[in-house]
Chains A and B, each alone.
Chain A
Amino acid sequence: MTIQEFQTVCSQLEQEYTAKIAAAADLNAVEELRVAALGRKGALTELLKNLKDFSIEDKKTAGPLGNALKAALTAALEDKTAALSAAALNEELNRVHLDLTLPGRPLARGKRHPLSIAQKRMTDILSSLGFTWAEGPWVEDERHNFDMLNIPLHHPARDAQDTFFAQTGSPLSMVLRTHTSNVQSRFMEKHQPPLRIMAPGRVFRNDSLDATHSPVFHQIEGLYVDENVSMADLKRDLSAFMKGLLGDKTEIRFRPSFFPFTEPSAEVDVKCVFCGGKGCNVCKGSGWIEMLGSGIVHPNVLKNCGINPEKYSGYAFGMGVERLAMMLVNINDIRTFYENDLRILKQF
């Protein structure tokens, strides 16, 4: 075979197989073409056998030519194989018919109680404001629940808190704590200022269960005692607390009030989050919603706990968890929280 003949056959093979590969209808046809062209007895393999008879000069021309053709045909076969496989897979995938609109499989996931969610939100904010979580007993002696907090025996303020009395073997008269403020007397008795604590938890009042009263409910208390703590510090921290709770634009106002354990005492209102202060049903037209009670810790309370009121001063505040939760999610019956109806619990 001459080099010229070799070149001619190469060119013929290229044309012939390029066309055939392009026209192959399925993977079998591609395989047949591979065997026919590149198999042990394939047309190109046979052609390349002639190379060994060429002169060194001719080999330099024919060798690269033959290898290039082999590479080109191999690539064309691979491309065709890939294209046909993809088409076949696609066809198979398109045969899948599943009703995608059926519901997803239910997975077990429970939820926290709305009061836990509300309390956690409050403790998270207070924690970020540097309040440490403190606790006290729920079955408390009258001294820590009342006397130390400047609520003397035979005073109407003491009667106002319908108290449950517990029967125990303790020589002290025990009550179910009527507020979280017992944590104030408990904590200050053991710690000198500076101190900055929060005390969330359950409290008890001898109120019958109805839409707005429950014998068991939750409060959260804050207490900060240091040198020179003033009403302005209280306003700063409550403003931050309320902004954290209700949004950065929240405004608060102080109103004079009375609590035996604070002096001066202030009721704290937030500008109604529902109407922006214009007046609506939630704020009863006033534009403000009563949120919590607060004030400067009464000097008698500090004294009773062994803290010098001439050196230190402090503020305290307390708010109801149920009240806030009821307002925010429009629950108007406090019993909802204690029925544990899954149809309600699942909504949180």
Chain B
Amino acid sequence: MKILYSWLKDFIDLDYTPEEMVAHFTKLGIEVASVEKKGADFEGVNVAQIVQIEDHPNSDHLHLVTLDLGGGKTQRVVCGAPNVAVGQKVPLARVGARLGKITLTPAKIRGVVSEGMICSSDELGLTNTRAHGILVLDEKLELGTDVRSLYGKADALFDLEITSNRPDLLSHLGVARELGVLLNKPVKFPAPKEIKGEGASLKIDVQDSQACRRYSGRLIRGVKNAPSTQLVQERLSAMGLNPKNALIDVTNYVMFELGQPMHAFDRNLIEGDTVVVRRAQKEEKFTLLDERELTLDENALLIGDAHKATALAGIMGGKNSGITDSTTDIFLESAYFDAPTINKTSKKYGVSSDSSQRFERGADIGMTLLALHRATELLAESCGGTPSEIADVYPQVFENPVVSFTPAQINSILGTEIADEKLKDIFNRLALKFDASGENWTFQAPTHRRDLNHRWDLAEEAARFAGFDQIPTGASHTYVSFADNPKGVDLMELVSERLCGLGFYECKNIDFLGEKELKAFGFDPKNAVKIKNAMAQGWDYLRPTLLPALLKNAEFNARHGQADVALFETTRTFSLTKGFPTETYTVAGVLCGQVPAGAFFAANGQKADFYLIKGMVQELLEGVKGVQLLPSEKAPVYMHPKLCMDVLISGKKAGVLGALHPLTTKAAGLKAVEVWAFEISLKPLEKLFSMHDFTPVKPAAALPPSLRDLSVVLDKATPYGQIKQVLEQTALAVALHFDLIDVYEGEHLPQGKKSVTFTLAFSAPDRTLKDKEIDEAFNTLVGALKEKLGAELR
């Protein structure tokens, strides 16, 4: 809402600089988006011409400047501006002149008395540039001219951000009223002459009194449309409106002044003598003033005559009944429409106006008549005409609820100790009716404050007008709680820390993707959460997988010179389960190129491969019970068919790891042929994980184990997994730990064979093993490997 300072002053005496006004607004909770200063806020500054410049006896940068004031008078002043020159015409402020709030007095500058000053543009309050140098004026100006006449009257335009609960501040009167309470100053309401009028108005037929709670109007006959007065034109321009003609301008002027939206119809385009307020018929067509054509439904509220609709109530007039230059008789509407009705219609048809913005937030039902009188008065000035009587349909007079409370309750909400007298003073200024005679006080707000319905609302008013700085920093005891974090949160933190330790950088991505990506990653769009009002194509669904975005991140980084990447993200993924949205904490990562990146040691680095990503996933899930990694029987479409493993947790598939399908990486625009990835749902881990799960520590063995190397030769096709299984499952009399140290294929081995070498560590908790025991265990293992896998000792 734009507020013109001079207009505001019509209603309240204000003697503050624009900066001080901003502080007042801030205190009230009204944010000021911008302040535009206008015109001249000074007096007694005249045009003078520099005739002589001498050096100041006690300064090397100050000058003694002699000026011709016109009429044969001269004046010498001290001036330090770098840009003074003989012949310039400049603004001279002499002793007694006023610059903003400062009145000039003689000043002694380095021993020389100066009885005036040559002003800069900043000093005159015209700019705020902090530039040095005096303002040099047009050389054609006559000496002695009042400089103020060159700039017009001082004014300021405040752009206020009015919150949606305070529609009463969407007018100059409303803002004045608010300042009146804050500053304890009287508000001068406009008091137009209340003309009774001649002849009947049009009849009003309100068919929906819920949607239209009040309808006031009158005819004005015999007007002559003309341009508005200069004041009206200037003020509307300041509001950002182009003045059109007095008949239209006045309705807008009254709206900005009093907050009451009005509409003027050309009487002669209204058929019959009744104004009807009704709901639209199904598929009723209506053409707005701006020529947009709407097809309405029964929820839309219309103003109409005997045959047709003439306005979309509270939002915009129709093309068929608008004011023209040749209009002679008008019907002025000043009504109150129900906020949700206007909001719904405005939103549905995408039609918004200054009027609808006020109605949908809530106008003042008590303002319609004052607005009508004010408009009548203003029109009489510009267009003449004869007003009719006023028609006012207001079946149920609105009253705000009476709030009953105690001052202690107000202070309890705020944590303050505001004195009763102070509270009474504030509520008296705000209320329509306020009674503090009993233990319980009662407060009833005026019609323009529909937001004061509970004692909490009044507590806010008390704090605002007493000052929010009255609220102390509480010192009382507070309840604290140290319940566990949600499991998913702790799990995300855990996997993030582990992945960072493994060299992965965390990413955050927008949660949307398109149908093409969904399909490419093997998801049926029917099972994904679709956004009905997606903002862009390709952002139509909530993502069920984190991999597409991570691939984009890899591609972005490759394009910016970082082809070696290890990236991860952990957040929620989305799907539909029987139609209902399901949210699952998920972690995914991509890896490609050299690990870690680093040019000098690249030769010594590690090129990412299958076993690296597998090792990383193993580390990621280290310590989690029931994790299994099994080669995928059927890899998902976006994964390499042979380089893909299922991640099983407690026997259920929770994710995959391996190489991405080359077509997947190609589609993502990645040049790297091999991109490794994993994606795992954290959901099954939630049950396995607790911050309070303190597993007892196993004591470290006091005695070192006995080590033996074991090398066996077996069929190349035998997977390591099976060998491992045999070693793990063969029963031994001693404890065994084994490490794989080599897998060898090639020379010195028969065709189709490989050699696998382990270091075996045998131990017992309480003693050093005897050679015999070790031999026995070793031979048992060799026997089992031979029996189950045909392995021969090498």
Residues of A participating in the B interface, judged by any CB pair closer than 8 Å? 102-103, 105-113, 115-116, 120, 127, 129-135, 137-139, 152-157, 159-160, 163-170, 174, 176, 194-197, 202, 204, 206-209, 214-216, 224, 226, 228, 230-237, 239, 253-258, 260, 263-267, 296, 298-299, 313, 337-343, 345-346
Contacts and interface: CB of A to CB of B under 8 A. Distances in A.
A239 B27 CA distance: 20
Contacts of B530: 166-167
A102 B598 CA distance: 13
B457 A256 contact: no
Interface string B551-571: 001001100101001111001
A105 B605 CA distance: 9
A216 B507 CA distance: 14
Contacts of B399: none
B230 interface: no
B474 A166 contact: no
B471 A235 contact: yes
Interface in B391-415: 412-415
A298 B451 CA distance: 12
Sorted from nearest, which 5 A-B pairs have the closest CB atoms? A169-B579, A130-B480, A232-B415, A256-B29, A108-B503
Nearest to A160: B164
Size range of the chain B interface in the assembly: 35 or more
A80 to B, nearest CB: 39
Given A132-B483, A264-B459, A342 B565 contact: yes
Given A110-B499, A255-B29, A216 B343 contact: no
B352 to A, nearest CB: 10
B494 interface: no
B179 to A, nearest CB: 14
Contacts of B344: 154
Contacts of B507: 113, 340, 345
A109 B504 CA distance: 7
26 contacts: A109-B503, A112-B500, A127-B482, A137-B581, A137-B583, A138-B574, A164-B533, A166-B531, A176-B542, A194-B479, A196-B478, A196-B480, A206-B535, A215-B512, A216-B510, A231-B414, A231-B471, A235-B472, A253-B468, A258-B166, A263-B454, A264-B464, A298-B456, A338-B508, A341-B556, A342-B565
Interface in B87-124: none
Interface stretch (B321-329, B485-493, B682-690): B485-493
Interface in B343-397: 343-344, 347, 357, 360-361
A127 B388 CA distance: 69
Given A139-B574, A235-B415, A337 B343 contact: no
A81 B163 CA distance: 91
A165 to B, nearest CB: 4
Contacts of B468: 253-256, 266
Interface string B147-177: 0000000000000000111100000000000
B267 interface: no
B560 A343 contact: yes
Contacts of A265: 29, 460
B506 A170 contact: no
A211 to B, nearest CB: 15
A342 B471 contact: no
B334 to A, nearest CB: 22
A231 B164 contact: no
Contacts of B464: 256, 264
Nearest to B554: A340
A207 B533 CA distance: 11
A340 B482 CA distance: 34
Interface centre among A107, A139, A206, A264 (most CB of B within 10 A): A264
A296 B411 CA distance: 13
A120 B493 CA distance: 9
B340 A156 contact: no
B23 to A, nearest CB: 10
B766 interface: no
Given A208-B536, A215-B539, A264-B459, 19 more contacts: A102-B600, A106-B597, A107-B503, A107-B596, A110-B499, A111-B505, A113-B506, A116-B508, A130-B480, A132-B484, A134-B486, A135-B486, A138-B583, A139-B529, A165-B532, A206-B533, A264-B464, A267-B29, A313-B413
